[in-house]
Amino acid sequence: MQLASEEVIITLVAGTVLLLFLVAVVVAAAARYQHRKRIHLMDLERAKHETLREILKARLEAQDETLDHVGRELHDNIGQMLSSAKMLVAVVQRTVPAPNETLDVIEETLARAIADLRALSKSLNREWLQKFSLIENLTAEANRVNATNSLTMTLNHADEIDLPAEHQLVLFRIVQESFQNALKHAEPTRIDIDVRQQDGMLEVQIKDDGKGFDTSDLSTQGVGMLNIKNRSQLLGGRAQWTSFATGTSVVIQIPTQQ
């Protein structure tokens, strides 16, 4: 009987210990599962962002390729045709005994068109742009736009830009897209570009004095604005629009430390 009682006590103690151990293991398993689930979700999120980023990068590269192609076609085909026309005008001027003043005007117009076309072609050509910094490219672009006498473009900039060359090129495309947008939709007479660097952030503001738009209306947000947002996101930054009846300002903020 005593033996049986001892056996019961041992069984009860062992059973309780075993039960507590199992409860502890089940709780540990649940906690460990939660932890793994969190890591799994973070990995999924990271993979999703990476995939979206790659898709975006591929799309933007395709756009750059198209711009490159257009730039080359402008230079090789249309540029050549304009140069040929200018040469023919020069031949006529030499051969005709009393050349008309109109021929001089034609020659000047053609020369300007060729120069403008070259400048435009260069602004679309990636290989050409990569030789220069953001500020140099923006300066060239401002000079090109000002030469058309259709509006005034000013550029204020910081002395140095701490951004890798590849990112400076992407930023240049963003600014190019921004004022192309302004030219297309806002009908401005003036565009001011301001480039500042402070506290690890590079800020580019493009302000125009055009007619403005409703920033809350999604239907006004076309492909141009989407491209600007996408390219800004690719650089780890963002783009923000403010618009009134008297003009629109777009501010692009990019971190300089990637």
Query: At closest approach, how far in Å is the CB of 8 from other proteins?
Result: 5
Q: Indicate which single residue of 20, 22, 90, 165 sits in contact with other proteins (rule: CB under 8 A).
A: 22
Stretch that binds other proteins, among 2-10, 89-97, 129-137, 214-222 (CB under 8 A): 2-10
Q: Indicate which single residue of 20, 29, 58, 87 sits in contact with other proteins (rule: CB under 8 A).
A: 29
* 220 dihedral zone (left: phi>0; alpha: psi -120 to 50; beta): alpha
Nearer to other proteins, 27 or 165 (CB): 27
Using CB under 8 A, count the residues that bind other proteins. Answer: 24
Q: Which two tokens stand for residue 226?
A: 């989407």
Cβ atoms of residues 129 and 167 within 8 Å: no
Nearer to other proteins, 26 or 58 (CB): 26
Stretch that binds other proteins, among 8-16, 77-85, 153-161, 226-234 (CB under 8 A): 8-16
Q: Indicate which single residue of 3, 98, 218, 245 sits in contact with other proteins (rule: CB under 8 A).
A: 3
- Binders of other proteins in range 37-56 (CB under 8 A): 37, 40-41
Query: At closest approach, how far in Å is the CB of 17 from other proteins?
Result: 11
Selection from 94, 115, 112 nearest residue 103 by Cα: 94
Stretch that binds other proteins, among 16-24, 183-191, 221-229, 237-245 (CB under 8 A): 16-24
- Binders of other proteins in range 158-217 (CB under 8 A): none
Helix (H, G, I), strand (E, B) or coil at 178: helix
Nearer to other proteins, 40 or 69 (CB): 40
Alpha carbons 247 and 133: distance in angstroms, whole number: 28
- Nearest 5 degrees, angle CA 208-CA 62-CA 140? 40
Q: Can you spell out the DSSP letters for 179-212?
A: HHHHHHHT--SEEEEEEEEETTEEEEEEEE-S--
14 near other proteins (CB under 8 A): yes
Alpha carbons 63 and 208: distance in angstroms, whole number: 25
Alpha carbons 3 and 7: distance in angstroms, whole number: 6
Q: Indicate which single residue of 20, 36, 69, 127 sits in contact with other proteins (rule: CB under 8 A).
A: 36
- Nearest 5 degrees, angle CA 136-CA 139-CA 143? 140
**Contact positions toward other proteins, by CB under 8 A?**
1, 3-4, 7-8, 10-11, 14-15, 18-19, 22, 25-26, 28-30, 32-34, 36-37, 40-41
